[in-house]
Structure formats: C-alpha cells, structure tokens
Structure 1
Amino acid sequence: ELVAIDSGPGMADLALSSADGHSTTGTLGIGLGAIARQSSWFDGYSLPGRGTVLTVQVWDGPVPGPDWAGALARPITGEQVSGDGYAVRVVDGRRQVLVCDGLGHGPLAAAATGAALAAFRAAPAGSPSTVVQHLHRAMSHTRGAALAVAEPDPVSGLLRYAGLGNIAAMIVAAGERRRGLVSLPGIAGHQRPSVREYDYPFPAGATLVMHSDGVTDRWDLADYPGLAGRAPLLAAATLLRDAGIRRDDACVLVARAEP
C-alpha cells in the first residue's frame, strides 16, 4: 500500500489528468495512467490550490472488497519512528478501531504504541470499554499512552466509544454539525480512572474521524467536496496533510458504518 501526498497546485479534474496523453506542461502525460494500470486499486483526490493525494494498493491475489476504515500515521519531523499508531480489526462480527498516542516521541513512545496495537489485535471480543481495560493492563511495562477504541455498528445505527487521554474523535453526518466524542482523563498503562463507554447515533453515511493531538481540530470535511464518500484511507491522508503538525507525531483514522 502506497500513499503519495503533496501540497502543490492541485488538479481541477483528476480523471482528465489521469487520461493518457493529457498534460498541462508538455510532458507525455502517461504518469497517472501508468500508476493506475499497475495497481490493483487506485484512487486519488485533488483540489486546485490545496494539492493532491494518491492511494495505491497492489495485491498478489483477488482484491478485497472496499475498506470500511483507513488511517495514516507519521513521525515528528526528524524522527524515524512514530509514537502514534492505529489498528483495525473485526472479531466475532464486531468492527473496532484503535488510535493510540504513546507518551512523548521516539522509540519509547513507539514501543508503548506497539504494545497497544499488538494487545488490541490479540484481545478477545469485547466492548470498547472492555478492550480499553485490556490494553491498560497489557501496557503496564511501557511509558503509557492516550488511546481510544470505537465500534461502529451498522445494525443498531450506533457507535460505541471508550477512550483515555487526548485522542480526539468526531462523528460527521450530512447536514449536521460534527459531534465530538468523550474520552476520560488518564494514561493507559499507568493512570486509569473507571473506563466509561458512550453510545452515539451513527446513521448510514456518517463518518467517524479520530486523531491524535498531532492533528489540529481546524478541519471541516465540507471544505473537501466529495471526500466524505471516498475511500477512508484517502480521506485520512488528506486530513493529515492539511491538519497535521510537524512538531509532533500525528495520526488520523477514518471509519464508516458501511464500506
């Protein structure tokens, strides 16, 4: 899986720019078309004056169905590893996502987040609050982290959520103001108050956006026409480009009730 991001002049019509032979600078005009032909899955989003994001997957077998969640993380400028991370899982029919921000930066922060991701993937099926408690116990040997677990349920039309520390999470639905989700103070692995789980309406077509404090909250999906209905990875990468800050690790996750 490859993600390419720029903050260049952007393209008014990405489909036209992907057509072989089309060029605005006198080149052969075959670059984007060649990428698409060599990919199992290819998607992109571009706005004039904002830049372009391209996402590519190459599979050695049949391409899986559309993803219901996607995310991207990057380290603070000058660092090789990121203390921010994410994981996605489906266990016993329950779709769950995790965003984790290990305390500080560098290898020790990355180790804390790595422990959380491993414990999340291996955890037995359970509610978000149960999973958060499991992660807290599994991270006692690390410096700790802020983290949150969300479970979108398309059958009930609800999103279940539990978090510790400053992981931001919002539900964005058409025609409504985005709704912030509640996380409790604490440090997973060290300082844990009673974990509480909250249920929120999550109608068809709604989008969940979760991010670490390396991403500002000064973003609005309405500023990106059509992005809310595109692949979650593409949306996450676009928000990370525009709202991420370089003086901290950063992570954005986007999930939907249905692919």
Structure 2
Amino acid sequence: MPEIRVHGADDVGTARRQLLEYCRSLPFTMQELGQLAIIVTELATNLAKHASGGGVIRVETIGDRKGLILQSIDQGPGIPDVSLALLDGTPSTASLGGGLGAMRRLSDFFSLQSEPSGTVVTVKKWVEAIPTQRLTVGVYSRPHPEYGVSGEGFFVRQDAHRPTIALFDASGRGTIAYQNRLRMERTLWDLQGLSLLEIMGETHRQMTGEAERALFLAQVDYRQETLNYVGVGPIQAQLLIPEGYVPLKRTARWKGLDVSSLTLDQERWTAESILAVTTAGAVVDWEQLHYRSIKGGKPGQLCRQWVERWGRDDDEATILIARDER
C-alpha cells in the first residue's frame, strides 16, 4: 500500500478500513490495531477538514514486519500555531481521538513540520514484542532543609523498545518550587511522543523566565543499543560501566539558551550500563564508587545512600539511577 488519498470527509472511513486491512499481514495486537485506527482517522480527518484539496497518507512497513510508518502530506495552508495544536483539549474539529496530542501519545515516534506551503506529519508504530529488557529506575529526592517541598522531580515512561527518563530542577523555593515542579511534570507528559530535542525545545519555551532551571532527558534505544540524551543546566549525568564512568555532555545554562544549537548526544548501551543523574545539590565523588556494588544494589536504596553521603546541607538534592533488568 504505497499511499491512501483523502479528498473529503467521505474518505476518512475508507482510509481507516484500508489501513486496517493492510495491517492484517503485520503482527500487531488488537490494542495496537485500535491505536492505529485512531491515528489514521486523525490524519485523514485533518486532511479532509483543513488541507486545501486534501492530501495523501503514505504507508511503509518497517523492516521485516517490525512496524509501520504513516506520513500525511498536504499542500497547505499549514498550522498557524503548532505548539497550541499539540496540546490536548484544543482540537479545531471533533474527531475520534482528540487531535494531534492523541496521535503523539499513541505513536512510538511523532514528527510535525508545518509551513504555509504544506504540513507533513510522520508517525511510527512498532509491533510490540515481549520485552527481554526492562529499565529499572530508582530515585531519591530530599528537599531544602528549610522547606518541606522541592522543585526537583523526575519523569519515567517505560517502553519495551525505547524508555524515556527525565530528571529536572524547575527552580524556586517552597510553594513556588513545588508549583514549578508540577508544571514541568505536566509539560513533559504532554510532550511525550516528540523527539528528545523537540521535548527540550518546547519545555524551554514553556518554562522560560528569569529562573535558572535544569533538565536532563534520555532514552535507551534497545534496538540500536544506544543511550540518546540531551542536558541543559546544572545537572550531572554519568554512564557507569565496568571499566569506570563516562561523563555525559550538557549545555551549561538554561537562561538565554538557543535551542536550535542543541544536539542529541549518544553513548553505547549494554546490559552492563548504568545511568546515574544528580542535581546540583548532590556532589558525588565518582572516583569512590565501585561498579559491582552499584550493579548489585537496589537503585532506590543507592540513591538515598548517595544523597545522605554527598548531598549538600544547604540545598535540595535528587539522584536517579537507571539500569537494565534482564
């Protein structure tokens, strides 16, 4: 099936039926087929309602029946405010799944490029395999000694193929810090499905201001056996391996950041890899750590021990440890 043509509302149901018929040859579960039905309905509805003259949805199988790529292409007029369109609750027309935000969450990869000359939406959906790997994550956070709440937090999205991890400092003290933390957590959740660079850029746009914030984002890609990451602000991240540790790169400052200058960095990820991330309030002496004790210990307990040992007395501190359980 090279492409599905959509000219008007009558073609939406046809597009859904054609895609589901095509997917019968792929080992998708019933749940995944339901998700694909929502995705193609949203793509076709957008073409029928908003695109001048409709458009096409190109369909491509990934590898040896490992998944599906859907790409919607039209000739305009484009989306005036992409960020607004991606938020839940702001669809311009009623449809099955709630708009672009629903497509993004139901996809394993989502990309949107829009100009007055046309819009291209690309979606990838993998066939879900029984996971032989699962990322185990431990976190321990201690608030500032003068306050009972913290502006630091984390986000974990488990996925059989590409789990996502975030550790952040939303800035502030007391109630303001806690409110900033909740805001950043909501932002990270809403942006799931975008690439790490897109998530970083949009989070920076929504959380801009005078405060100096920090955010570290990472994904373990089990198919490629890589750790992909981007970090901004005073957060330290290390990749611990049997031979020692590898400091992970970051951009120093949140304020005044040019997000277009950011790049996605990468390290090799194996069954022996351990990711350790700390906020500025925890100054870990990495030379004193013994890999075997970290690999054998429980991540949550290790995080607490490290905060108690290396956390500054005059600041809040958070440590996250992630490793494979196979």
Report the TM-score, using the length of structure 1 for normalisation. 0.66
Equivalent residue for 2:322?
A: 255
> Retained in 2: the 8 A contact 1:67–1:231?
no
The match for 1:154 among 213, 217, 222 is: 222
- Deviation for aligned residue 1:250: 0.5
**1:226 aligns to what SS in structure 2?**
helix
**1:152, 1:67 → 2: CA distance?**
9
Q: For residue 223 of structure 1, report the CA deviation from its aligned partner.
A: 4.2
Equivalent residue letter for 1:169: A
Q: String of CA shifts for 1:172-210, please: whole Å, max 9, x gaps.
A: 011x121110111332xx532222210011221210000
CA distance in 2, matches of 1:137, 1:229: 40
Aligned to 1:185, which of 252, 256, 263? 252
For residues 227 and 97 of structure 1, the distance between their equivalents in structure 2, rounded to whole angstroms, comes to 19
Q: Structure 1 residues 228 and 220, CA, compared in 2 at 3 Å: closer, same or farther?
A: farther
Partner-residue secondary structure (3-state), 1:94 = coil
- More deviation, 136-145/147-156: 136-145
> Aligned residue for 1:78?
146
Distance 1:110 1:195, change over 3 A: farther
Whole-angstrom CA distance in 1 between matches of 2:322 and 2:288: 14
Partner in structure 1 of residue 6 of structure 2: none
Distance 2:234 2:161 in 1: 28
| Other structure's SS at 1:80 match | coil
Contact preservation (8 Å) 2:161, 2:223: no
Q: In structure 2, do the counterparts of structure 1 residues 66 and 257 end up closer, same or farther at CA, with 3 Å as the change threshold? A: closer
Question: Is contact 2:139-2:303 (8 Å) kept?
Answer: yes
CA distance in 2, matches of 1:157, 1:221: 28
- Structure 1: gaps spanning 5 or more residues: 1-64
C-alpha deviation, 1:66, in angstroms: 7.3
- Structure 1 partner of 2:189: 121
Normalised to the residue count of structure 2, the TM-score between the two structures is 0.53
Listed one character per residue, the Cα deviations across residues 44-82 of structure 1 (whole Å, up to 9, x for unaligned) are: xxxxxxxxxxxxxxxxxxxxx976112111111121111
The reply on whether 1:197 has 2:299 as its aligned counterpart is: no
Amino acid at match of 1:70: G
Against the structure 1 CA distance between its residues 224 and 171, is the aligned structure 2 distance closer, same or farther, given a 3 Å change threshold? closer
The CA RMSD measured in Å over matched residues stands at: 2.5
- Give secondary structure in 2 for the equivalent of 1:183: coil
> Percent identity between the aligned chains?
23
Structure with more helix by fraction:
2
2:270 matches 1:206:
no
* In 1: Cα distance, 2:271 partner to 2:135 partner: 15
Select 2:198's aligned residue among 130, 136, 141.
130
Contact 2:276 2:322 in 1 (8 A): yes
Q: 1:185 and 1:67 mapped to 2: Cα distance?
A: 28
Unaligned ranges ≥5, structure 2:
1-132
AA of the residue aligned to 1:161 = Y
Moved beyond 4 Å, runs of 4+: none
Residues 216, 244 of structure 1: 8 Å contact kept: yes
Please give the alpha-carbon distance, in whole angstroms, between the structure 1 residues aligned to 2:194 and 2:160: 9
* 3-state SS in 2 of match to 1:178: strand
CA distance in 1, matches of 2:275, 2:227: 9
Q: What code does the residue aligned with 2:164 have?
A: Q
Structure having greater relative contact order (Cα 8 Å, sep ≥ 6): 1
Displacement, 1:91?
A: 5.7
Counterpart of 1:163 in structure 2 is: 231
1:215 counterpart residue number = 282
After TM superposition, give the deviation of residue 160 of structure 1 in Å: 0.6
Deviations 1:219-246 (A, max 9, x none): 4574485332333222222222211112
Shift of residue 125, structure 1, vs aligned partner: 1.1
Kindly report which structure 2 residues correspond to 1:1-259, keeping only aligned pairs within 5 A, or say none.
Answer: 68-90=136-158, 93-140=161-208, 143=211, 145-174=213-242, 176-187=243-254, 190-193=255-258, 194-220=261-287, 222-223=289-290, 226-258=293-325
Count of residue pairs the alignment pairs up: 192
Tell me by how many angstroms 1:150 deviates.
1.0
Any idea what the Cα deviations from partners look like across 1:91-113, whole Å, max 9, x if unmatched?
68431111111234322233222
